[in-house]
Structure 1
Amino acid sequence: MKAAQFDSFGEPTEVLRCIDRPKPTPAGGEALVRMLASPINPSDLMTVRGEYGSLPDPPAVPGYEGVGVVESGGGLLGLALRGKRVAVLNGAGGNWAEYVTLPANRCVPLPGDLSLPQAAMFFVNPATAYLLTAKVLAVPKGAWLLQTAAGSSLGQMVIRLGVHRGFRTVNVVRRAEQAETLRGLGADAVVTFDENRESPADLAAKVKEATGGAVIRHAIDPVAGATGGAAVGCLGAGGRLISFGTLSGAPLAVPARHLLFHGLSVEGFYLGKWMDAAGLPTKLRVMRTVGKLLSAGVIANDVGESFPLDRISEAVAVAEQPGRGGKAWLTIGA
């Protein structure tokens, strides 16, 4: 079978290649899935670079999410899933291949009305956006939520969820040309911030002006570094920031005085750990809710260009282009 593999950690365009590997055989309790498509997420590329929180031993195949059809499986669940199109929630990676094996309980049946790319991107961004806003922070109706990297696919989902659930969003972006698109989605306020040219005080002043001096007690940040630290400085007393990424590659720079004197808190969120800790009924409710939100068009993945596995170097290069216009994804099987 074909697979995109890296033999050592490094730049994805340099170390990833399409190779032939043996077709895997499922063990007890596992399902064999014929993969149809998989997105190229930042977590995948961080894994290839050796920068993610949990790393495989090379040689390895990336890919934490995707969509496929269950061909075989052991146990009652594996038998029940046979022939079904499923979201492949592969915490160990391996989805950038024609076939993959994983625990059958990591295969989630999908609504039939989802397109192939929407099905491939069903889990990571939609579930993260929903859980952060509705469960972890539980942003109340009418309250403000600040988010960095607001122009990303996940950031756009948060804006749509704000419109749907009635909370307001102040959205931090690096490029001014993103503002019109975000306002069209329902963003209440959009501000630009470049950590290389501006100070945290500059961001706080912009946010204050854009929101009419509103008190902000909820924030989410996938960037870390100086941008994440500046976001903390925009919070009012008792505010919470949830850090869920390290796109900058730098540590989250938070002055201790914010935490000591203003009662602010910074917490981490990792979707895989949250799902592992949740009971089965909770997981099913989350997946059903996300499926309904996608099917109803409340949230949608921003779909970009697709590539076959044998163009993997080109695919990952496009995935990291600024302003690329949608998430790049891999078409793997028919």
Structure 2
Amino acid sequence: MAMASLRVTLRNLGSTRRSLQTRIFPSAVRSIATSLSPPSRAVVYEQHGPPDQVTRVIELAPVEIKENDVCVKMLASPINPSDINRIEGVYPVRPPVPAIGGYEGVGEVHALGSAVSNLAVGDWVIPSPPSSGLWQTYVVKEQSVWLKINKDVPMEYAATITVNPLTALLMLEDFVKLNSGDTIVQNGATSIVGQCIIQLAKVHGIKSINIIRDRVGSEEVKEKLKRLGANEVYTESQLEVKNVKNLLGDLPEPALGFNCIGGNAASLVLRFLRQRGTMVTYGGMSKKPITVSTSSFIFKDLALRGFWLQKWMSTERANECRPMIDYLLSLVQSGKLKYEMELSPFHDFSLALDKALGKLGSHPKQVIKF
């Protein structure tokens, strides 16, 4: 597709870039003279497929800033698994192609539409709920999309707070009423959601049993998770015993379990659950189905639930997330919530994408710095 044709098609995106020649100065203020955003560089894909093959960085023309719009200079945006799935075309909800990638991030207000009064140039904002098209240097969206946050938060945490940490908090609060002293069990404990669950549980006095896969260096992984607040950490092979309840010690049987893997790893979570316990599935990394014994349903009356952040955020409850995000960011500032990330400059996007795809071995979550 020729560049001119691509720009015409991109008008259908949430971050429309009109083919205008006027270039504005970066010192934007609210006035009729600054009704256009600066030109932008963006990661686009014109068809679904392998992300490292179908994405490319292009230049986009300025776009009109309407009276209720906010132009945001992006500071950072992560490469999440859901971003990769959208580009691949396998995610249940995805923008029509051609599209700009990126669904989560943080930026600084660059310019305001004439009717915007709740934000100021220089404020830090995040899209809440998350919004598509954030892998670009300047984003123009309606003011209701943006949530102002404290600029004292580390940039990489501000950029990543609305997907993984919020998922962890919602799952802890939405399915079973937990009290201080209760126990939860989870697989995939080394994931960012898993690490957040450990730390949030600790803050609320909830004990955690954590399952990790067998790997080289598993003892170091166990110690790392325990430093975050995990009470017990087991490899899958350690749970190949007749009665896992004997491993609980003084911990009460878990009322709630989390599964992001499926297959045998999900069965291990179920084995720990108490009578009428609930397992919440939010991922399927193994791509294997969940198998539940008939006796677990009949004699333990277990409940199986699912969680999908996108669906939760598309309901009337979406506004509830904003105070929750503020709470999570306060935990980051107090040092009670942390996870590993790697900042990569925008000009190295291809390298960061290869790391996120696992092509270069194991790496922390990749966060693009614009």
* Separation (CA, whole Å) in 2 of partners of 1:65 and 1:89: 9
Letter in 1 for 2:168: A
Task: State the percentage of identical aligned residues.
Answer: 28
Q: 1:269 aligns with which of 298, 307, 323?
A: 307
Q: Structure 2 vs 1, CA of residues 293 and 55 (structure 1 numbering), >3 Å: closer, same or farther? A: same
The superposition leaves residues 9-65 of structure 1 with CA deviations (integer Å, 9 ceiling, x where unpaired) of 222222222222334445564432221110111111121222212122222122111
Which gives a bigger RCO, structure 1 or 2 (Cα 8 Å, sep 6+)? 1
Aligned pairs for 1:238-317 (under 5 A) are 238-255=276-293, 257-279=295-317, 282-304=320-342, 306-317=343-354
* Separation (CA, whole Å) in 1 of partners of 2:144 and 2:266: 35
- The answer to whether the 8 Å contact 1:145/1:219 transfers is yes
Instruction: State whether structure 2 residue 43 is matched by structure 1 residue 4.
Output: yes
Letter in 2 for 1:50: G
Q: Which residue number in structure 2 is paired with residue 101 of structure 1?
A: 140
Aligned pairs for 1:1-334 (under 5 A) are 1-26=40-65, 29-74=68-113, 78-83=116-121, 84-89=123-128, 91-174=130-213, 175=215, 176=218, 177-193=220-236, 202=240, 205=243, 207-212=244-249, 214-255=252-293, 257-279=295-317, 282-304=320-342, 306-321=343-358, 324=362, 326-332=364-370
Q: Structure 2 vs 1, CA of residues 228 and 30 (structure 1 numbering), >3 Å: closer, same or farther? A: farther
Q: Structure 2 vs 1, CA of residues 53 and 113 (structure 1 numbering), >3 Å: closer, same or farther? A: same
* Separation (CA, whole Å) in 1 of partners of 2:367 and 2:319: 30
* Separation (CA, whole Å) in 2 of partners of 1:188 and 1:323: 29
* Separation (CA, whole Å) in 1 of partners of 2:114 and 2:277: 47
* Corresponding residue SS for 2:82: helix
Letter in 2 for 1:193: E
Number of equivalences? 324
Letter in 2 for 1:137: V
Q: Give the TM-score of the pair, scaled to structure 2.
A: 0.78
Letter in 1 for 2:262: A
Letter in 1 for 2:82: S
The superposition leaves residues 140-168 of structure 1 with CA deviations (integer Å, 9 ceiling, x where unpaired) of 21111111110112211211122211111
* Separation (CA, whole Å) in 1 of partners of 2:263 and 2:77: 29
**Unpaired stretches in structure 2, ≥5 consecutive residues:** 1-39
* Separation (CA, whole Å) in 2 of partners of 1:75 and 1:239: 53
* Aligned-residue RMSD, C-alpha: 2.7
- The answer to whether the 8 Å contact 1:64/1:89 transfers is no
How far 1:130 sits from its partner (Å)? 1.8
How far 1:98 sits from its partner (Å)? 1.0
Q: Structure 2 vs 1, CA of residues 23 and 155 (structure 1 numbering), >3 Å: closer, same or farther? A: farther
How far 1:120 sits from its partner (Å)? 1.1
**Unpaired stretches in structure 1, ≥5 consecutive residues:** none
The superposition leaves residues 192-211 of structure 1 with CA deviations (integer Å, 9 ceiling, x where unpaired) of 127xxx9xx73774x43432
Q: Which has the larger radius of gyration?
A: 2
Q: Give the TM-score of the pair, scaled to structure 1.
A: 0.86
- The answer to whether the 8 Å contact 2:165/2:192 transfers is no
Q: Structure 2 vs 1, CA of residues 75 and 165 (structure 1 numbering), >3 Å: closer, same or farther? A: farther
